[in-house]
């Protein structure tokens, strides 16, 4: 790979693996269950699914299309379609958002490396009660040196994957990783559901109680839908820019959305069957999966190898997401500064690692520093996922729907896919989504956040 030649996917399959790798990660495995737990279960899931399919999916197509049409990253791509410097700055903003996301993402991914090491040492299979598992997690995150070290280690792994050429292999590896992840989840679900009172967890997830919905649920549902599809921060535009113009976006994107959603829901069942059986609080926050899954690992006969397999897969899934969050900044440095891929990657990883330090310290040395009861990491995650990401997504749909024009966008889509034929249901869905529902809904959510 040289700086002069743009990278490209050799085939649609390459793109699907990369997009799937980007989408499936801590968003559906770690974040989805705890956000659902904090916002009342089933009613929130329904809201989330509406956001995902009515807003997220059209936005995903729009973001990829910007890259595919211009063959450029977000800053240049936005400029070309928006025909002004202002649009370029807006595109650039999404690159910054990606860097902020990657910073706290790496901290949580560092926890999963820590848990993988604990799994190997056999520590995750010896919990007799839920309070032990909770205490274990609290002690684990309380060491600033360890958490910082794991954060840097994860960042170094991601940087290595980005420069070493093993990246394609890792992405293609999802052919094996995904089925394995589903396999482990099925075992966890089956065993979880055999625990006493576990079905209350299933009811919590699938029987809506609208009174449990909090006012902030809309913003959370939208933020999570965008986060899990890696939207609003340049990733999908950058990946689209490596995609040939003839590719069928529907066929490439639909499997990504469906598989990712299925995985998140399965994770929900696995986690909440344990939560309700062990009498834990569903709303216990970012620690949720770390405090629950070890309880099942401790009770099943194959708990030891399964705990290792599970956390290895989570670490790998987090790496394929992290590299996609870093890629827009790397592409930006390559295109603008004409730096080599290696130099761009090292500098991007260093910036992101430095940005992650406050998040790493917010569960220990800086835990006293809180805003409205939230520590720094939670604040950074809230600000980026619930504000910056929706703003980035809104800019992309406004660009495609109103500036470039939905008509031209549809013509472009038709080049690769017969599903977007004039008057077809899909093209109406896309037209209405991009032009009206997505911008309007995002605007309302942001307005609500602003005034509440």
Grouping H, G, I as helix, E, B as strand and the rest as coil, residue 122 is coil
Residue list 188-227, contact with ligand PHE (CB under 6 A): 227
DSSP code, position 422: T
Neighbours of 189 (CB within 10 A): 20
Whole-Å CA distances, 4 to 19, 332, 337:
24, 13, 12
C-beta closer to ligand PHE: residue 267 or 274: 267
Residue list 259-298, contact with ligand PHE (CB under 6 A): none
Residue 22 engages ligand PHE in binding (rule: CB under 6 A):
yes
Residue 325 engages ligand PHE in binding (rule: CB under 6 A):
yes
Cα dihedral sign, 112-117-118-122: positive
From the CB of 227, what's the least distance to ligand PHE, in Å? 5
Q: Of the listed pieces 20-28, 157-165, 274-282, 373-381, which binds ligand PHE according to CB under 6 A?
A: 20-28
Count of residues interacting with ligand PHE (CB under 6 A): 15
From the CB of 101, what's the least distance to ligand PHE, in Å? 5
Radius of gyration (C-alpha) of the chain in whole angstroms:
21
C-beta closer to ligand PHE: residue 298 or 321: 321
Residue choice 59, 235, 261, 298 for contact with ligand PHE (CB under 6 A): 235
Cβ-closest position to ligand PHE: 27
Contact assessment for residue 24 and residue 30, using Cβ atoms and an 8 Å cutoff: no
To the nearest 10 degrees (0 to 180), the angle between helices 303-337 and 288-297 is: 150
Residue choice 307, 321, 345, 359 for contact with ligand PHE (CB under 6 A): 321
DSSP code, position 6: P
From the CB of 221, what's the least distance to ligand PHE, in Å? 15
Grouping H, G, I as helix, E, B as strand and the rest as coil, residue 217 is helix
Residue 230 engages ligand PHE in binding (rule: CB under 6 A):
yes
Instruction: Dump the DSSP string for 145-157.
Output: HHHHHHHHHHHHH
Whole-Å CA distances, 108 to 8, 278, 293, 336, 412:
30, 24, 16, 31, 39
C-beta closer to ligand PHE: residue 125 or 249: 249
d(C-alpha 306, C-alpha 313), whole Å: 10
Residue list 24-83, contact with ligand PHE (CB under 6 A): 25-28
Grouping H, G, I as helix, E, B as strand and the rest as coil, residue 244 is coil
Residue choice 95, 101, 189, 253 for contact with ligand PHE (CB under 6 A): 101
Q: Which two tokens stand for residue 296?
A: 């099942």
C-beta closer to ligand PHE: residue 25 or 401: 25
From the CB of 285, what's the least distance to ligand PHE, in Å? 17
Q: Of the listed pieces 8-16, 229-237, 293-301, 342-350, which binds ligand PHE according to CB under 6 A?
A: 229-237
Residue choice 106, 118, 174, 228 for contact with ligand PHE (CB under 6 A): 228
Residue with tokens 């040289």: 2
Q: Of the listed pieces 85-93, 199-207, 230-238, 275-283, which binds ligand PHE according to CB under 6 A?
A: 230-238
Secondary structure element (H or E) that encloses residue 371, with its range: strand 370-371
What is the contact surface with ligand PHE in residues (CB under 6 A)?
A: 22-23, 25-28, 101, 227-228, 230, 233, 235, 321, 324-325
């Amino acid at each position: 790979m040289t700086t002069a030649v743009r990278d490209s996917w050799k085939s649609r399959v390459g793109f699907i693996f990369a997009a799937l790798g980007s989408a499936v990660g801590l968003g559906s495995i770690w974040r989805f269950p705890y956000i659902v737990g904090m916002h009342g279960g089933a009613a929130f899931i329904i809201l989330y699914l509406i956001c995902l399919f009515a807003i997220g999916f059209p936005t995903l197509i729009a973001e990829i299309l910007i890259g595919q049409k211009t063959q450029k990253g977000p800053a240049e791509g936005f400029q070309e379609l928006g025909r002004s410097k202002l649009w370029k700055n807006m595109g650039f903003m999404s690159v910054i958002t990606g860097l902020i996301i990657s910073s706290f993402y790496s901290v949580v991914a560092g926890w999963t490396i820590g848990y993988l090491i604990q799994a190997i040492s056999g520590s995750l299979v010896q919990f007799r009660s839920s309070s032990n598992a909770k205490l274990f997690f609290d002690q684990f995150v309380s060491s600033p040196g360890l958490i910082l070290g794991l954060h840097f280690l994860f960042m170094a792994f991601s940087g290595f994957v980005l420069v070493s050429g093993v990246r394609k292999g890792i992405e293609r590896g999802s052919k094996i990783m995904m089925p394995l992840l589903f396999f482990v989840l099925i075992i966890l679900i089956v065993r979880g559901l055999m625990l006493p009172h576990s079905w209350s967890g299933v009811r919590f997830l699938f029987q809506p109680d609208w009174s449990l919905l909090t006012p902030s649920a809309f913003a959370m549902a939208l933020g999570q839908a965008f986060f899990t599809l890696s939207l609003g921060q340049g990733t999908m535009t950058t990946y689209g820019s490596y995609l040939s113009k003839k590719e069928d976006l529907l066929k490439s994107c639909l499997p990504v959305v469906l598989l990712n959603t299925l995985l998140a829901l399965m994770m929900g069942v696995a986690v909440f069957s344990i939560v309700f059986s062990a009498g834990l609080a569903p709303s216990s926050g970012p620690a949720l999966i770390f405090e629950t899954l070890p309880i099942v690992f401790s009770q099943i006969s194959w708990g030891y190898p399964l705990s290792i397999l599970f956390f290895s897969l989570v670490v790998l899934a987090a790496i394929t997401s992290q590299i996609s969050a870093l890629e827009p900044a790397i592409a930006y440095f390559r295109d603008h500064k004409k730096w080599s891929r290696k130099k761009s990657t090292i500098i991007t990883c260093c910036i992101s690692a430095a940005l992650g330090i406050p998040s790493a310290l917010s569960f220990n040395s800086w835990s006293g520093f809180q805003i409205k009861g939230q520590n720094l990491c939670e604040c950074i995650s809230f600000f980026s996922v619930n504000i910056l990401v929706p703003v980035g997504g809104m800019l992309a749909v406004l660009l495609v729907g109103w500036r470039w024009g939905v008509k031209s966008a549809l013509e472009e889509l038709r080049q690769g896919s017969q599903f977007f034929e004039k008057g077809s249901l899909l093209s109406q869905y896309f037209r209405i989504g991009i032009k009206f529902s997505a911008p309007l809904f995002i605007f309302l959510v942001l307005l609500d956040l602003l005034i509440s």
